[in-house]
């Protein structure tokens, strides 16, 4: 490739302006279902809600599904339905979205963090058993960025210790582990339909399970502690502590329309990711996403690790990463740091005082949330960047080629960047 000046230094960007189009694509099928809902008579838990539950359960292969107002709500329902309560402990990966752990606090239980495997960014099964105590009730297995966690050893540990396993599938629609879709691998699972997800209805989520007893416990949390659904003849009696986690008809209508196109969306993401991965293969100092054998990702996020030492940089890893990102963005490559804090660093866990007066830790035991205990999660935070939209429809193979060209251009010309001179601005 002939020498081309980096866009950060005054050259032409590798990705043409306007080439990357927004997510999600909206067409007449979305408009028809949403308008029909709007013109209908029930804008709360209406007919689209039940239909969405049935269609999603059929698509994913579950016996039961409950549509919710968020993936966080679905996670909390799972914690409650699996019998976790005041002072009980739930094992959670040290790196994930905050909801993967705050859902434990929501039912007055205590999160116990376990470090991640650096290559996959998912919980490291080899570290789980050491975190189990007599108070442990469940494990939350997060399928981060659409890559399934290593479920066999997780399930084996859970069986050996009599623990429930809750799948956080919020980013993993359609992902598979050894031929089985996520959400069907454990006791129950939670999906999100937030704007950024591979199935978007703006907001919303879905709780799934094949266990009828877990289903009924989840329903009580979902709807005011009642045992009958809004579609049934309700007695308006709160039988247990409950929340209001129901979805609404308009959102469910949008979700149904997008679900009908989800298989095609996932095919597009896989095709674009294959082109992008091929385009950045064997770049010194860049580790593209790793997909272990038996795992099928949905390519929610194309997350890479960078290594400054491979380019002779011995300074702070995050500074090198931030300067690389600055150069990539100048090329039109829309990279982001998805989450730059590990969960144990967050104030809500450091304070151990979520509800005041030390609750929920005062029901169980105080734990050490020292970030130094989670070195792989910390290393990941300092060395990763990722992107979502270029993989998604309506973007095509040409966009993936532009993006991969932009990444290769920056890494081939890293030596032209004064990392420390640019670092102060990039760090900010």
Binned at pLDDT 50, 70 and 90, residue 1 comes out as very low
Tell me the average pLDDT across 31-54.
96
Q: Where are the alpha helices (DSSP H) in 6-67?
A: 28-38, 47-60
Model confidence at 228, pLDDT cuts 50, 70, 90, reads confident
Q: Give which of 222, 273, 297, 257 is closest to 72, Cα–Cα.
A: 222
With H, G, I as helix, E, B as strand and everything else as coil, classify residue 409.
helix
CA–CA distance, 269 with 272 (Å, rounded to integer): 5
Burial 297-327 (b: 16+ CB within 10 A, else e): bbbbbbbbbbebeebebeeebbbbbbbbbbb
How many C-beta atoms lie closer than 10 Å to residue 17's C-beta?
Answer: 7
User: Tokens for 84?
Assistant: 């976790």
Neighbours of 398 (CB within 10 A): 12
Q: What is the CATH number of the domain that holds 202?
A: 3.40.640.10
Please report whether residue 324 resides in a domain: no
The pTM score is 0.96
C-alpha to C-alpha distance for 154 and 161, rounded to whole angstroms: 11
Distance CA 142, CA 170 (A): 8
Q: Which residue's entry shows tokens 């269609």?
A: 55
> Which has the higher per-residue pLDDT, 237 or 195?
195
- 309 belongs to a structural domain: no
> Is 47 a member of any domain?
yes
Asked whether the predicted pLDDT for residue 332 surpasses 90, the reply is yes
pLDDT of residue 231: 74
Mean pLDDT of the chain: 95
pLDDT in tens, 61-99: 999 999 999 999 999 999 999 999 999 999 999 999 999
| Residue 311 three-state SS | helix
Contacts of residue 339, Cβ cutoff 8 Å, sequence gap at least 6: 95, 96, 97, 381
The verdict on residue 181 lying in a domain is yes
- Whether 5 is covered by a domain: the verdict is no
pLDDT in tens, 120-166: 999 999 999 999 999 999 999 999 999 999 999 999 999 999 999 99
Q: What is the pLDDT of residue 428?
A: 55
Q: Total domain count for the chain?
A: 1
pLDDT recorded at residue 244: 95
Which contiguous run of DSSP H or E holds residue 60?
helix 47-60
Q: What single DSSP character describes residue 118?
A: T
Q: What's the half-sphere exposure (Cβ side, CA atoms, 13 Å) at 110? A: 27
Using an 8 Å Cβ cutoff, are 183 and 189 in contact? yes
β-pairing, 384-385 with 89-93? unpaired
Mean pLDDT of 273-288: 96
Q: What is the mean pLDDT of residues 416-427?
A: 79
Mean pLDDT, rounded, for 271-283: 96
- C-alpha 29/C-alpha 33 separation (Å) is 6
Q: Are 306 and 326 in contact (CB under 8 A)?
A: no
List, for residues 43-67, the tens digit of each pLDDT value.
999 999 999 999 999 999 999 999 9
Q: Quote the crossing angle between the two packed helices 28-38 and 249-259, to the nearest 10°.
A: 160
Compute the average pLDDT of residues 203-214.
98
Res 2: pLDDT: 53
Question: Mind listing the pLDDT tens digit for each residue in 348-360?
Answer: 999 999 999 999 9
DSSP letters along 141-172, please? EE-GGGPPP-HHHHHHHHHHHT-EEEEE-TT-
The percentage of the chain sitting over the pLDDT mark of 70, rounded to a whole number, equals: 98
How does DSSP assign 168-186, residue by residue? E-TT-TT-EETTEETTSSS
Residue 44 sits in which domain range?
Answer: 28-261
Evaluate if residue 259 carries a pLDDT over 60: yes
Give the Cα separation of 23 and 394 in Å (integer): 8
The predicted structure's pLDDT at residue 261 = 98
Answer whether residue 285 is part of any domain: no
Phi/psi at 56 (nearest 5 deg)?
-70, -40
- Give residue 237's pLDDT band: very low, low, confident or very high (50, 70, 90): confident
State mean pLDDT over 369-374. Answer: 97
Q: By CB neighbour count within 10 A (0-12 exposed, 13-18 middle, 19+ buried), where does 295 fall?
A: buried
Residue 378 has pLDDT above 70, yes or no: yes
pLDDT bin (cut points 50, 70, 90) of residue 239 is confident
Q: What is the pLDDT of residue 4?
A: 83
In a domain, 243, yes or no: yes
φ/ψ of residue 138, rounded to 5: -160, 165
Among 153-162, 211-220, 224-233, 306-315, the range scoring the smallest mean pLDDT is 224-233
Q: 426 pLDDT exceeds 70?
A: no
Q: Which pLDDT belongs to residue 372?
A: 97
* Plot region of 269 (φ>0 → left; ψ -120 to 50 → alpha; else → beta): alpha
Strand pairing of 304-306 and 384-385?
antiparallel
Residue 300 lies in a domain: no
């Amino acid at each position: 490739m002939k020498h081309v000046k980096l866009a950060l230094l005054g050259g032409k960007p590798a990705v043409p302006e306007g080439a990357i189009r927004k997510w999600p694509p909206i067409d007449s099928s979305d408009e028809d279902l949403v308008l029909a809902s709007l013109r209908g008579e029930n804008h709360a838990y209406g007919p689209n809600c039940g239909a969405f539950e049935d269609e999603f359960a059929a698509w994913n292969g579950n016996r039961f599904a409950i549509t919710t107002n968020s993936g966080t709500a679905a996670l909390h329902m799972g914690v409650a339905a699996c019998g976790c309560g005041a002072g009980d402990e739930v094992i959670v990966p040290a790196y994930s979205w905050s909801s993967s752990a705050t859902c434990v606090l929501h039912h007055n239980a205590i999160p116990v963090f376990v470090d991640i495997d650096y290559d996959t960014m998912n919980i490291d099964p080899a570290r789980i058993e050491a975190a189990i105590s007599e108070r442990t009730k469940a494990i939350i297995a997060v399928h981060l960025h659409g890559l399934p966690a290593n479920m066999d050893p997780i399930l084996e540990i859970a069986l050996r210790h009599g623990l429930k396993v809750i799948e956080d599938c919020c980013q993993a629609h359609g992902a598979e582990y050894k031929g089985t879709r996520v959400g069907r691998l454990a006791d129950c699972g939670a999906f999100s339909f937030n704007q950024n997800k591979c199935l978007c209805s703006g907001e919303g989520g879905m709780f799934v399970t094949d266990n009828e007893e877990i289903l009924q416990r989840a329903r009580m949390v979902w709807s005011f502690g009642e045992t009958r659904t809004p579609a049934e003849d309700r007695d308006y009696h709160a039988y247990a502590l409950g929340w209001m986690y129901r979805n609404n008809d308009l959102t469910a209508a949008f979700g149904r329309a997008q679900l009908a196109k989800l298989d095609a969306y996932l095919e597009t993401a896989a095709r674009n990711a294959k082109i992008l991965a091929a385009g950045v293969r064997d770049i010194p100092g860049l580790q593209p996403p790793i997909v272990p054998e038996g795992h099928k990702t949905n390519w929610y996020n194309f997350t890479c690790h960078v290594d400054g030492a491979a380019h002779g940089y011995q300074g702070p890893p995050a500074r090198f990463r931030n300067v690389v990102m600055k150069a990539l963005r100048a090329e039109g490559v829309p990279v982001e740091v998805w989450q730059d804090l590990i969960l144990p660093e967050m104030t809500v866990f450091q304070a151990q005082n979520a509800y005041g007066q030390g609750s929920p830790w005062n029901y169980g035991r105080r734990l050490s949330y020292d970030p130094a205990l989670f070195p792989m999660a910390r290393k990941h935070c300092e060395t990763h960047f990722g992107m979502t939209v270029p993989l998604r429809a309506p973007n095509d193979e040409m966009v993936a080629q532009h993006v991969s060209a932009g990444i290769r251009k920056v890494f081939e010309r890293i030596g032209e960047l004064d990392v420390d001179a640019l670092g102060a601005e990039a760090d900010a």
